Structure 1
Amino acid sequence: MADSEAIEAETQEYTKWLVARIRSFHSDPLHSAAYLGNLAQFLQRPRHNSARNARSPASRDHKTNRATKEGNPPFIYEYAIPNTGTEPQLTKFNEIATYKETISDKAHNLNFNEIVFLAGRPSAEWLCAIGVRYKLDHRFFHQHLNFLPTGKRDWFTAPTLPSRSRNVLRLCIPSILFIGEHRYVNLDGLKKSRSDCDRQLRQRFRRFQEDTSTVPGQSIVRRMNIHSGDNYVIEQELSACLHKRGDKWTVLVWTDSGEEKDFDFIPGANTLKAAVDRLDFCPIFFEKDLSEKPATPPLAGTGSQTARVNQPLSSLPGNYGYTIDWRRAATDPLSTLQELFTFHAASEVQYLNMLEQFITEQITHAESMSGEPEIGSILHFDYAKSILVRHDAHIQSILCFLQSDLQDWGKAAPQTQSPDGDLLSTLQTDLGYLSTRIHNIIELCEAGRSTIMSNTSIEENKRSNEQAALVADLTKATTRLTFIFLPISFVTSVFGMNFRQFGQGALSIWLWVAITLPLLVFCIVLVERGGYIKKLLGKVLNSLGENFDRFVCW
């Protein structure tokens, strides 16, 4: 009981220290932590009475120890890594009272290295308990919850400098979500769907800080990409940092994805009219080298073949380590993240495959389209390109982390070891491949855009030429009629009807004929051979000009 009270006192002190640093802004604006104001507000939320939910820790005589209670999704997954190189022991926590009682035991995982997952939405009690347990810098929470506003306004403090980030690794995980096959949505519908989803995400981010009723462990969605009416792509993030505990260490991984049985956390666009019971996640495939003949992992359950696939990222914390060499991971903290890197690369490459297929189909459609192309289709390529550029920047940040931010990770390993060179080389090769693929697909977007613009220009030129030819024919016909009737009208207006044959005047009508016919012939020649006459006159004038110049010089 005394240990539980000590944990509660440390938890309150953990928050008070941050609040004191924030309040120092007016007296010491350079060195305060005022940008963590909203995080401090979040950590000071009213706490539930955890004592009534307290329960004794479950026994640890099994490989997987579920310290959970039915109903709430787990928020913490602890893997204690034995020094023997055997698979680690997993402990799950979904009740804060149970977790506080467990960590009050000072011997809890003291002699083991750890990898600990935090899954989904937090609560103030969870974050304070974890912060006290590992003496965490508040900036780790701030960097993962960077969608929250900072302080009283947005002070643009995330991401921060590598020297201040405590070597925090950030990974963006795209998840493809199927809606249904061959669901055509026009460009206006897609733009409306994207706007609807962005608005819903913004509303959820605003409610995140005030909402105290949400159960911890539910998923967070950062962004949503909509390329067609057949599927969504949601983007979530995970943050990893290394915490040293004397000669031991803990790798903390916080993932946006919780363990949920429904898809209510996914914003739905009214334009797509996607029924929740039709949504299905695209699996993420990665495994050990099949030539190693690994032991078959336990199946989660047979079930119906028509059952929809749940989100792969939500399954990762509870099924972690199947492809990891735990003998190496027991002493090298970077090796414990190998499966995270593999999962990230596998999800990224599947998204790139989807984008490449979609863009190729759009290019093929633009090339084979008869008639005038849809200029609005350029928006497909511009939208995909903006996402690809953002993902390439993310890949480059991970490469920078691997190249320059691994000093603390290497120091946590024994002096006889360093971060696995083969693992680093493999990770850099995979990330370099992803970056190359991204640039290739960006070039495809540019090619598709150029194809549509070229086809549009060709069609525009063709239409302009047809209109110009029509105008030229009309002008020529009008000119002919004008040159035929204008001389006649002119002669008639001059002479009037004052001819002897009509009983008026002294002139003969043959005089009218003698003047009109030559004038008519002259006009016809001028219309039909005007270009030639103009050229001939030009030569004559040039010749006269040269003779005049020679005369003047003489």
Structure 2
Amino acid sequence: MDQHSGIMTSASASDYIRRLQHYSRHDKNGNIYRPLANFLDTKTKKMRIDESVDEPSERCVWYMMVQSNIATDMVPILSLSDLKSIESSSNFSACSGRLIFLRGFPSAKWLAILGHLYQVTPDVWRRHLDFLSQIGEGFFQVTSLPSWRSHVFHLRICSLGGWRNHWQFIKHSIEHLHRMAARDMESYRASLGRADDWKQGDSVVRRYMIHDKTYFSIEQHVTVYMYHDRDTEPWTIIVLSDCGDDLDTKHHGPWVRFQDSKLFPTPRSDGDELLNTASWKQDFGNPNDHGLIEAKLSQSLSEIHVGYGKKLDPEGMAHNPFYAIYEIFLQCASAECQILDMVTTMIEEHEIGQSSPKKDAADYEASHTQLLHFQGFLEHRVESLRDILDIIRTHGKKPWAYPNERVAETVGKATDKLIEDFEYLLRRVHNLLRRIERTISISMSLINMEQAKRSIDQNMTLFRFTVVASIYIPLSFTTSFFGMNFLEFGQGPLSIWVFFVASVPIFILSIFGLFIKRAWIEQLPARLGNKVTSWALRD
């Protein structure tokens, strides 16, 4: 649907939902919007969807009014009246743009209200909530084309976690842990697709992978809607992040199956702010004042709204909305670097060199399995990094109008820094993939050598057994032969020629069965069956 299609001209949030329902049910192209329409309708039918009704957001909706002359704070929107009071204030007249964060599982009511107020195409909500259409809808998701990224784009951000107690994995192989993670994640996605017990602010996980008996990772999405009409002010950016409440507070996923699960913190920048204690107290204050409670499965990305934009140039944010989300890309780059550090360490453990300890075939096969796992993981990261680079080059290099050269230089350097960082990360992933391919090739050769060595040892054992048998089998035959009850041996009435008459035909049949073609034997029942059928027809 187009940004200004008929479905977008709703007079209220409730009309926004009704028009979406009508479009999904009566338009031939509307089937893909049916899960979203049902979600909005089901979650809001017990409440009035009206601009005069308040709904507490529990610090899940944050708002920043961007002005060119001053740096403003990100403030929580606890109700719809808070949003209306901000945009009806005298300061809003000088506003150049608005930046809105929606943390965790989104509220259906807030989606309808924001969609109505800012004329957001439902395609934005549909693509972010793509997990709703996984339950028996019978169609594929529409791939995000480059032209569609002019207003909306996705970021796939990984968080690294781990366990301290390795003893709990003693009974499990790494292949079993991989299968267990995939199976548990299927159940989690099914629960997420139904969205029955999910509340606003619950964290959502798209992928979960166990890498070894120490580390695991989760992948979450950040969807950014950015609309800027050069003739209309202010611009609007809505950020929908999967990161909300701590992952160990609600909807326990497979990442808490084992004891002492913990997510590692991701640095948001180069750490220069640690040297400025006064700035830290002013910008961040007490973490509990922002609802940030220390927990084992808390995420750095869920805290990105705290002190957001303090290091960005206010004039640059006002004149370039893409620059206003610069810190989100920095967080994504830091998380990606942390993940690649872990993968690098894991690959070094499985690489084969002169200093590597001697391993047997089972160890090489285990390493081969792990390397294939990391190869698939990194190929997925390549796709994500390429998409991000395309987004930065498309939006960061646009000819935005700046008030002076200083602002243009500041924003240009920030864009160049992002491109440099993500190009470095992409090169690093490609280097890791080459190392994996080389190590896999060597490990396969060593596995084949170990198997060949094992075959040689088995053949040598069989040879020794054959030598021993060649000595004792004739002796056994001799003793058996002279122990028979024949007339010539004075033991019985039969002649010894009876033995040869009976043995020679059996020997000939054995030789014939040894050299007969296996295919002919397999076809023999069919041939006999055909002959029996032909005889029956004759009769």
* TM-score, normalising length: structure 2: 0.73
Match in the other structure for 1:23: 25
Match in the other structure for 2:268: 286
The SS at the match of 1:471 is helix
Check 1:323–1:182 CA distance in 2 against 1; reply closer, same or farther (3 A cut): farther
Out of 297, 310, 316, the residue aligned to residue 280 of structure 2 is 297
Distance 2:392 2:131 in 1: 25
Out of 389, 392, 397, the residue aligned to residue 382 of structure 2 is 392
Distance 1:226 1:151 in 2: 25
1:89 aligns with 2:66: no
Check 1:289–1:470 CA distance in 2 against 1; reply closer, same or farther (3 A cut): closer
What's the CA shift string for 1:237-295, capped at 9, x where partnerless?
A: 101121236132122211111144844345136xx8423xx333211113357499655
Match in the other structure for 2:393: 403
Match in the other structure for 2:65: 80
1:138 aligns with 2:119: no
CA contact (8 A) 2:210 2:217 kept: yes
Distance 2:317 2:445 in 1: 55
CA contact (8 A) 2:68 2:318 kept: yes
Distance 2:40 2:83 in 1: 16
The SS at the match of 1:283 is coil
Check 1:234–1:319 CA distance in 2 against 1; reply closer, same or farther (3 A cut): farther
What's the CA shift string for 1:192-221, capped at 9, x where partnerless?
A: 43134312322222221xx2x543122111
Match in the other structure for 1:513: none
How far did 1:352 drift? 0.8
Check 1:322–1:281 CA distance in 2 against 1; reply closer, same or farther (3 A cut): farther
The SS at the match of 2:328 is helix
How far did 1:364 drift? 6.3
Out of 186, 193, 200, the residue aligned to residue 199 of structure 1 is 186
The SS at the match of 2:385 is helix
How far did 1:41 drift? 1.3
Distance 2:350 2:328 in 1: 33
CA contact (8 A) 2:39 2:108 kept: yes
Check 1:109–1:243 CA distance in 2 against 1; reply closer, same or farther (3 A cut): farther
Q: Larger Cα Rg: Structure 1 or Structure 2?
A: 1
Pairing of 1:252-331 with structure 2 (within 5 A): 252-260=238-246, 262-268=248-254, 273-275=257-259, 278-287=260-269, 290=272, 296-298=279-281, 299-301=284-286, 308=296, 310-331=298-319
CA contact (8 A) 1:221 1:266 kept: no
Check 1:205–1:154 CA distance in 2 against 1; reply closer, same or farther (3 A cut): farther
Distance 1:248 1:349 in 2: 35
Distance 1:200 1:485 in 2: 65
CA contact (8 A) 2:203 2:247 kept: no
How far did 1:456 drift? 2.0
Match in the other structure for 2:495: none
CA contact (8 A) 2:385 2:426 kept: yes
What's the CA shift string for 1:4-27, capped at 9, x where partnerless?
A: xxx9951122222223332333xx
How far did 1:463 drift? 1.7
Check 1:199–1:384 CA distance in 2 against 1; reply closer, same or farther (3 A cut): same
Out of 320, 335, 344, the residue aligned to residue 356 of structure 1 is 344
Match in the other structure for 2:362: 373
**423-432 or 259-268, larger mean C-alpha shift:** 259-268
What's the CA shift string for 1:403-438, capped at 9, x where partnerless?
A: 34568x655867988793322322121111111111
Out of 8, 29, 32, the residue aligned to residue 35 of structure 1 is 32
Match in the other structure for 1:48: 47
**340-349 or 309-318, larger mean C-alpha shift:** 309-318
Distance 2:138 2:376 in 1: 24
What's the CA shift string for 1:323-358, capped at 9, x where partnerless?
A: 323332222112112111110000001011111112
Give, as a single letter, the amino acid of the residue that structure 2 aligns with 1:200.
Answer: S
Pairing of 1:426-445 with structure 2 (within 5 A): 426-445=417-436
Distance 1:52 1:436 in 2: 49
Out of 149, 170, 180, the residue aligned to residue 133 of structure 2 is 149
Pairing of 1:212-227 with structure 2 (within 5 A): 214-227=198-211
Distance 2:12 2:379 in 1: 44
1:243 aligns with 2:232: no
Please give the root-mean-square deviation of Cα atoms over the aligned residues, in Å.
4.0
Distance 2:174 2:270 in 1: 42
| Alignment coverage as a number of residue pairs | 459
CA contact (8 A) 2:13 2:113 kept: yes
The SS at the match of 2:147 is coil
**463-472 or 139-148, larger mean C-alpha shift:** 463-472
**412-421 or 439-448, larger mean C-alpha shift:** 412-421
CA contact (8 A) 1:179 1:231 kept: yes
Q: Unaligned 5+ residue runs, structure 1?
A: 1-6, 56-67, 491-496, 498-554
Give, as a single letter, the amino acid of the residue that structure 1 aligns with 2:81.
Answer: T
**188-197 or 293-302, larger mean C-alpha shift:** 293-302
Give, as a single letter, the amino acid of the residue that structure 1 aligns with 2:300.
Answer: P
How far did 1:166 drift? 4.1
* TM-score, normalising length: structure 1: 0.71
Give, as a single letter, the amino acid of the residue that structure 2 aligns with 1:445.
Answer: I
CA contact (8 A) 2:154 2:222 kept: yes
CA contact (8 A) 2:74 2:305 kept: no
Give, as a single letter, the amino acid of the residue that structure 1 aligns with 2:181.
Answer: R
Check 1:332–1:404 CA distance in 2 against 1; reply closer, same or farther (3 A cut): closer
